[in-house]
Amino acid sequence: MCLAVMREAAFALAGEALIGYPPWLYRRIGHPVGWVAAAIERLSEGLNSPDLPPWRARANGVATAAIVAGLGAAFGLALQRLAGRGALRSPLLVLLATPGLAQRSLHDHVADVARPLARGDLAGARTAVSHIVGRDTGALDAAGVAAAALESLAESFNDGVVAPALWLAVGGLPGLYAFKAINTADSLIGHREAPWGDFGWAAARLDDLVNLVPARLAGALVALAGGGGWRVMWRDAGKHASPNAGWPEAAMAGALGLRLGGPATYDGVVTARPVFAAGARPPQAADLARGLAVYRRACGLLIAGLLLAGLAQRAARR
């Protein structure tokens, strides 16, 4: 990491928190994640088939993951070169990095769940939470809606904020957009069930690798921002099927003193999931506001940490 890139990562986070991804721009050109998703779907159509032997499906999946990561890095490199080398380079890099971050949109989506839930509009809250989780939401009670939103907030704090910011700090725009491509591939094809299985194996494993450090940092930031949760995080994070997702989720459960996780229904099938902070109470509507406050503080700590790391690096070079 260099001072300039860490500073740009911090400024990109701050800028994205203020402006997000403008709706008018989305209407005109879509979003880079959508472009990646379209490319992955095309590759899947050509390279994945239930008739393939497992070794061939896995090889094709490795090729797909490599192509997608390469396309993301190439896109980021093109943007970085577009920024040039003049006085406007840093402001342009900050602007071009904001689509790879999701602080503002994540906060807004969870707030969209909190508002109807707080006024007792369970149907509206179920609809809002269905936009950010993959589980079935039609039969969730208020506690189930609140838990789903808090779990998504915690996990997506890593996927949408901490990890892309760190990869931006490590590798500039190529690092940022390569990460976004890998993460999108995992979301779309990194599943064990048919028709993915062997084909999605590489995308899932690569996503696990690039999130290994960021997820643990995300958990630590949540615990710091919440003034607690360390014990629950260390005890329960490893229960999750993912090597990474359990860290911020367990930290959020511990920081808020709430029980999160547990069985959830996907496409009508009940799936067993680990419980975080098993002895705590289930979440209520008011706990979403508490979770969002922890999230905002954690984002602030990340920005401050990047700035301080850059300053420490500059001082060490003198």
Domain count, the chain: 1
Query: pLDDT band for position 314 (50/70/90)?
Result: low
Strand ranges in the chain using DSSP code E only, listed in sequence order: 260-261, 264-266, 269-271, 275-276
Query: pLDDT band for position 22 (50/70/90)?
Result: confident
| For helices 285-317 and 142-157, angle between their N-to-C axes, nearest 10 degrees | 10
For residue 42, give Cα distances in angstroms to 22, 35, 191: 27, 11, 17
Given a cut of 70, whether residue 182 has pLDDT beyond it is yes
Given the structure tokens 């090889």, which residue do they identify? 59
Residue 30 pLDDT? 83
Among 44-48, 190-194, 228-232, 313-317, name the one with the lowest average pLDDT.
Answer: 313-317
Residue 139 pLDDT? 92
The whole model's pTM is what?
0.93
What's 282's DSSP letter?
P
The percentage of residues in the chain with a pLDDT greater than 90, rounded to a whole number, is 69
**What's the average model confidence in pLDDT over 94-110?**
93
**What's the average model confidence in pLDDT over 242-263?**
96
**What's the average model confidence in pLDDT over 66-87?**
90
The percentage of residues in the chain with a pLDDT greater than 70, rounded to a whole number, is 97
CA proximity to 60, closest of 69, 49, 73, 71? 49
Q: 247 lies in which domain range?
A: 3-317
**What's the average model confidence in pLDDT over 277-284?**
95
Given a cut of 90, whether residue 46 has pLDDT beyond it is no
Bridge partners of residue 281, in order along the sequence: 258
Residue 190 pLDDT? 85
Cβ pair 158, 143 in contact under 8 A: no
CB < 8 Å & 24+ apart, contacts of 267-274:
267/136, 268/136, 273/240, 273/241, 274/236, 274/239, 274/240, 274/241, 274/246
Averaged pLDDT score across all residues of the chain: 91
Query: pLDDT band for position 284 (50/70/90)?
Result: very high
How many CB atoms neighbour CB 28 within 10 A? Answer: 8
How many CB atoms neighbour CB 26 within 10 A? Answer: 13
Given a cut of 90, whether residue 93 has pLDDT beyond it is no
Given a cut of 70, whether residue 4 has pLDDT beyond it is no
**What's the average model confidence in pLDDT over 194-213?**
91
Among 37-41, 111-115, 169-173, 310-314, name the one with the lowest average pLDDT.
Answer: 310-314
Residue 21 pLDDT? 82
Query: pLDDT band for position 138 (50/70/90)?
Result: very high
Cβ pair 171, 77 in contact under 8 A: no
Given a cut of 80, whether residue 222 has pLDDT beyond it is yes
Residue 32 pLDDT? 86
Distance, first Cα to last Cα, the chain: 16
Report residue 87 as tokens.
Answer: 């006085």
**What's the average model confidence in pLDDT over 256-282?**
93
